[in-house]
Structure 1
Amino acid sequence: MKFLDQTKIYIRSGDGGAGCVSFRREKFIEFGGPDGGDGGRGGDVWVECVQGLNTLIDYRYQVHFKARKGEHGMGKNRAGANADDIVLKVPVGTEILEEDGETLIADMTQVGQRVRLARGGNGGFGNAHFTTSTNRAPRRANPGQEGEERWIWLRLKLIADVGLVGLPNAGKSTFLSTVTAAKPKIADYPFTTLHPGLGVVRQHGREFVLADIPGLIAGAHEGAGLGDRFLAHIERCRVLLHLVEGTSEHAGKAYKTVREELEAYGHGLAEKPEIVALSKADALDPDTLKDQRARLKRAVKRTPIVLSSATGQGVPEVLNALLAALDAAKEEEAAEAPAAEWHP
Structure 2
Amino acid sequence: MKFVDEATIDVAAGSGGAGCMSFRREKFIPFGGPNGGDGGRGGSVYAVADRNLNTLIDFRYARRHEARHGEHGRGSDQYGAASEDIVLRMPVGTIVKDFETGEVIAELLVPDERVLLAKGGDGGFGNLHFKSSTNRAPRQKTPGWPGEQKKLKLELRVLADVGLLGMPNAGKSTLITAISNARPKIADYPFTTLHPNLGVVRAGPERSFVVADIPGLIEGASEGAGLGHQFLRHLQRTRLLLHVVDLAPFDDAVDPVAQAKAIVKELRKYDEALYQKPRWLVLNKLDMVPEEEREARVKDFVKRLRWKGPVFQISALAHTGLDPMVQAIYEHVAAAKVVLPPEVDPRFDTPVGVADA
TM-score normalised by L of structure 2: 0.89
Query: Alpha carbons of 1:124 and 1:303: their partners in 2 closer, same or farther (altered >3 Å)?
Result: closer
Question: What residue in structure 2 maps to residue 341 of structure 1?
Answer: none
Quote how far apart the aligned CAs of 1:88 are.
1.0
Question: What residue in structure 2 maps to residue 275 of structure 1?
Answer: 280
Q: Deviations over 1:192-229 (max 9, x none)?
A: 00000000101132111110011000110000111512
Stretch of structure 1 that moved more, 244-253 or 73-82:
244-253
Bigger relative contact order, structure 1 or 2, given CA contacts below 8 A and separation 6+? 2
Identity rate, percent = 48
CA distance in 2, matches of 1:25, 1:171: 83
Query: Alpha carbons of 1:286 and 1:101: their partners in 2 closer, same or farther (altered >3 Å)?
Result: farther
Question: What residue in structure 1 maps to residue 212 of structure 2?
Answer: 211
Query: Alpha carbons of 1:267 and 1:137: their partners in 2 closer, same or farther (altered >3 Å)?
Result: farther
CA distance in 1, matches of 2:197, 2:242: 14
Question: What residue in structure 2 maps to residue 139 of structure 1?
Answer: 139
Stretch of structure 1 that moved more, 241-250 or 178-187:
241-250
Structure 1: segments with no counterpart, 5+ residues:
338-344
Superposed counterparts of 1:259-270, under 5 Å: 259-270=264-275
Quote how far apart the aligned CAs of 1:287 are.
5.7
Question: What residue in structure 2 maps to residue 245 of structure 1?
Answer: 246
Output the aligned Cα RMSD. Answer: 1.8
Structure 2: segments with no counterpart, 5+ residues:
345-357
Question: Is the partner of 1:23 in helix, strand or coil?
Answer: coil
Amino acid at match of 1:13: A
Quote how far apart the aligned CAs of 1:304 are.
2.7
Amino acid at match of 1:270: Y
Query: Alpha carbons of 1:188 and 1:264: their partners in 2 closer, same or farther (altered >3 Å)?
Result: same
Quote how far apart the aligned CAs of 1:307 are.
1.1
Question: Is the partner of 2:232 in helix, strand or coil?
Answer: helix
Question: What residue in structure 1 maps to residue 236 of structure 2?
Answer: 235
Q: Deviations over 1:26-74 (max 9, x none)?
A: 1113451221111000011111112211111111110101110000000
CA distance in 2, matches of 1:257, 1:81: 62
What is the aligned counterpart of 1:318 among 317, 325, 328?
A: 325
Amino acid at match of 1:275: W
Superposed counterparts of 1:11-50, under 5 Å: 11-50=11-50
Q: Deviations over 1:220-241 (max 9, x none)?
A: 0000111512111111111111
Give aligned pairs, total: 336
Quote how far apart the aligned CAs of 1:288 are.
5.3
CA distance in 2, matches of 1:316, 1:111: 31
| Paired residues of 2:45 and 2:118 also in contact (CA < 8 A) | yes
Quote how far apart the aligned CAs of 1:329 are.
2.7
Question: What residue in structure 2 maps to residue 117 of structure 1?
Answer: 117
Q: Deviations over 1:91-138 (max 9, x none)?
A: 111111111473111111001211111111111111122223333222
| Paired residues of 2:287 and 2:318 also in contact (CA < 8 A) | yes
Quote how far apart the aligned CAs of 1:247 are.
2.1
Query: Alpha carbons of 1:37 and 1:261: their partners in 2 closer, same or farther (altered >3 Å)?
Result: same
| Paired residues of 1:255 and 1:296 also in contact (CA < 8 A) | no
Quote how far apart the aligned CAs of 1:269 are.
1.5
Quote how far apart the aligned CAs of 1:185 are.
0.2
CA distance in 2, matches of 1:302, 1:32: 86
Amino acid at match of 1:295: D
Question: Is the partner of 1:185 in helix, strand or coil?
Answer: coil
Query: Alpha carbons of 1:68 and 1:150: their partners in 2 closer, same or farther (altered >3 Å)?
Result: same
Query: Alpha carbons of 1:303 and 1:290: their partners in 2 closer, same or farther (altered >3 Å)?
Result: farther
Superposed counterparts of 1:1-344, under 5 Å: 1-100=1-100, 102-205=102-205, 206-248=207-249, 249-286=254-291, 289-298=294-303, 299=305, 300-301=307-308, 304-333=311-340
Question: What residue in structure 2 maps to residue 340 of structure 1?
Answer: none
Amino acid at match of 1:58: D
Stretch of structure 1 that moved more, 218-227 or 63-72:
218-227
Question: Is the partner of 2:58 in helix, strand or coil?
Answer: helix
TM-score normalised by L of structure 1: 0.93
| Paired residues of 1:240 and 1:275 also in contact (CA < 8 A) | yes
Quote how far apart the aligned CAs of 1:325 are.
2.2
| Paired residues of 2:8 and 2:153 also in contact (CA < 8 A) | yes
| Paired residues of 1:47 and 1:89 also in contact (CA < 8 A) | yes
Quote how far apart the aligned CAs of 1:289 are.
3.5
CA distance in 2, matches of 1:102, 1:79: 39
| Paired residues of 1:251 and 1:295 also in contact (CA < 8 A) | no
CA distance in 2, matches of 1:331, 1:260: 31
Query: Alpha carbons of 1:49 and 1:156: their partners in 2 closer, same or farther (altered >3 Å)?
Result: same
CA distance in 2, matches of 1:14, 1:303: 56
